[in-house]
Amino acid sequence: MNRLLPYLPRRIALAAARLPDAVRAGVTEIRLRLGGPVSATVGGRNRFFTAEGRLCALEAALQCTEDDLAECVALLTGASLYSFGDALRAGFLPFGDGCRAGICGDAAVRDGVFTGFTRIYGVNLRLCGFFKDYGESAVRFIRRGGLKGALVYSPPGGGKTTLLRSIAYLLSREYRVAIADERYELFVPELRHGLTDALCGLKKGEALPLLCRSMSPQVIICDELAAEDEAPLAGCLNAGVCVIASAHAESADGLLSRPFIRRLAESGAFPLLIGIGEGFKYKVEECSLC
């Protein structure tokens, strides 16, 4: 959690620093909500605390003010919000190495296009996790009989990005791995020590073909597929590149019910499906559509 403290408003950082050691060790998020309680996500649970760092009920929790939010945003952006325009339009601010702060508030819309926020109501500072051996079992399946594409799925916050980082790390010991890191959260410092190339901050639709052309990867890894990614991803597959990606879903049936994912699966893009469940345990299965 110490990686989050420099980006928190001073009075909230002081309170968080006083939390019990066991709680601090398990924090994955700290959330600030205007006029509401500051909360920490610990082991998937929402926990509240006082200015003295004592765990408490919601009603007694430290409250977030408008000044707190302004200070937090200034710390996240180096007091230059304008320079983070593209990221902010996607609803987040990158910070640290692979960490990300989600942003919500009043949307600014121009000519029907979302351009940012006129007022910020909430900030969610998410700590990135890197566990290099987490993906060992998945990588054994991916490498069995030659490289196989895989689609990782879970509900939001289920551990997809953490698993992708580990898979990237393990595969990059042997294969050329390219990462399309649209939201500045996949490519962490530990990945710089393998055969890894990353393109950060660019939409996957542009990043995927660029990486294929310029870096000749054997594997491409990207996060949170959307319908507009179908064509560029298919282009990578047609070029003979193995693709490992993720998507939000609670089950394999729910995942394959999405038309664009079903089409990709039927094309043979993802012979393997990797579902992450409770306790961040995952299961690897063969895709029935491939």
Which sequence spans correspond to the domains of the chain? 5-126, 136-286
Cα–Cα distance measured from residue 198 to residue 181, given in angstroms and rounded to the nearest whole number = 7
Could you read off the pLDDT of 254-268 as tens digits, one per residue? Answer: 999 999 999 999 999
Please tell me the distance from the alpha carbon of residue 284 to that of residue 290, in angstroms, as a whole number: 15
User: How far, CA to CA in Å, does 269 sit from each of 132, 180, 214, 234, 290?
Assistant: 25, 17, 22, 8, 8
- Give the pLDDT confidence of 182-221 residue by residue, as tens digits: 988 899 888 999 999 999 989 999 999 999 999 999 999 9
Q: Answer yes or no: are the C-beta atoms of 179 and 166 closer than 8 Å.
A: no
Q: What are phi and psi of 135, to 5 degrees?
A: -90, 10
- Give the pLDDT confidence of 91-146 residue by residue, as tens digits: 888 887 778 899 999 988 888 888 778 889 999 999 887 889 999 999 999 999 99
In tens, the pLDDT along 52-101 reads: 999 999 999 999 999 999 999 999 988 776 666 767 777 888 887 778 89
The predicted structure's pLDDT at residue 83: 62
Give rounded-to-5 percent helix, strand, coil for the chain: 35, 30, 35
pLDDT at residue 81, rounded to an integer = 67
Better-predicted residue by pLDDT, 21 or 157: 21
Q: Would you state the structure tokens that stand for residue 15, as one six-digit string? A: 């309170």
Q: Is the pLDDT of residue 229 over 90?
A: yes
- pTM, entire model: 0.79
User: What's the CATH code, domain 5-126?
Assistant: 3.30.450
Residues paired with 224 in a beta bridge: none
Q: What angle do CA 271, 154, 19 make, to 5 degrees?
A: 145
- Supply the pLDDT for residue 82: 63
Domain range 136-286, CATH class: alpha beta
Cα distances (Å, whole numbers) of residue 51 to 40, 233, 276: 13, 48, 35
Distances (CA, A) of 64 to 11, 12, 129, 194: 10, 8, 26, 42
- Give dist(CA 252, CA 242) in Å, integer: 20
Six token digits for residue 97: 């190495």
Q: Encode 260-283: b = buried (16+ Cβ within 10 Å), e = exposed.
A: bbeebbeeebbbbbbbbeeeeebe
Beta strand 150-154 with 177-181 is unpaired
Instruction: Tell me how far apart the terminal alpha carbons of the chain are, to the nearest angstrom.
Output: 42
Residue 12 to residue 26: CA distance in whole angstroms: 18
